[in-house]
Amino acid sequence: MVLVAFALLALPGWAIVDAANRPDHLWQEAGLRKRTWVATLAGGAPVGIGFVAALAYFIKAKPRLANAAVLASVAVWGDELTSAAGTAGPGG
């Protein structure tokens, strides 16, 4: 019983920390609302709903945020990647 209670609180806690530490621009890029996800996870954790919300976060939101992080890094490093591939960029 203690293990079940721990899991019902630990998974939402992990999701809250993960969600809160992701930069706002990634949430915008992914089309998600950081405040809504964190509030749902935090508000639902004490009553068990947070466990379901955490599963939804890890299955639906986190992959979208990871994809947004890749796209953001490509946007920052895109010119270098294009140049390294041998494709001439603007002015080149």
* 56-87 pLDDT, tens digit each: 999 999 999 999 998 887 766 555 555 555 55
Specify the DSSP element, H or E, that contains 58: none
Domain range for 80: 2-84
pLDDT band with cut points at 50, 70 and 90 for residue 26: very high
- Which has more confidence, 80 or 28? 28
Assess if residue 92 is contained within a domain: no
Assess if residue 12 is contained within a domain: yes
- Spatial neighbors of 57 by CB under 8 A, at least 6 apart, are 15, 18, 19, 37, 41
How many domains would you assign to the chain? 1
